[in-house]
Structure formats: structure tokens, C-alpha cells
Structure 1
């Protein structure tokens, strides 16, 4: 299945519904187990420690907002 854009050498993220599964209908995505809140991460070639720190910061932010 073609996707609009899957990434480059830098890390990118976005909702699966608008990236890797943009061609699927809502019903198809749900049947595949892809919820509307699923985030797709395409990991680039940045330093591993930087990537881990960035992801940790993002997860911490989400936890703060969700509480």
C-alpha cells in the first residue's frame, strides 16, 4: 500500500491516520487495530541518546496532560 511520506534521515512523527495509513478508511484502520490516537514514529539517524531523551520528554508531557 502506498503511503504519502514515511520519513527521511531525521526522525519524524505523526498520526498513522495521516501518514502510513492515510489511504485506509476509518473502518479499515479500526479493523487493523489502528486507533485514531496511534502515533507513527519514523526514527532517523540522530544520536541515540538524543532520540531517547526527546521521546522521554514527549512521553512525560503526554502523561502530564493526560492526568
Structure 2
């Protein structure tokens, strides 16, 4: 999360990667969920974050 912390696109791709890792390998779930929560606070109007958050919620992270 320290790589380009102020660039949405980089952080979004990192969150997306962690989402896939959580979904298919059951790793990185807490880290990814935490990053998505942080991104949602920083960028509340970015609707693409909602679909990733739903996946983390599906796996029991809220």
C-alpha cells in the first residue's frame, strides 16, 4: 500500500489484485478489505469500488 499511496489507479489495481487473491486463494483478504475501506473513504464517488467491496463482504469481511 506504500507504492504510490496518493494515486487512485495504482491503489485500485492493488485492491483488485488482493480481491482476486482473496476470492481464489483465500489470502490477502484482510489487507484488501482494509484498502477498499480506505479508498471508499477517500474516493466515495468511485462506483467501481462498490463491486470489489461486495466481494469482500461475500467472503465475510465487513
TM-score between the two structures when normalised by the length of structure 1:
0.30
Which structure exhibits the higher relative contact order, with contacts defined as CA atoms closer than 8 Å and separated by 6 or more residues? 1
TM-score between the two structures when normalised by the length of structure 2:
0.31
Structure showing greater radius of gyration is 1
Q: Return the structure number with greater strand share.
A: 1
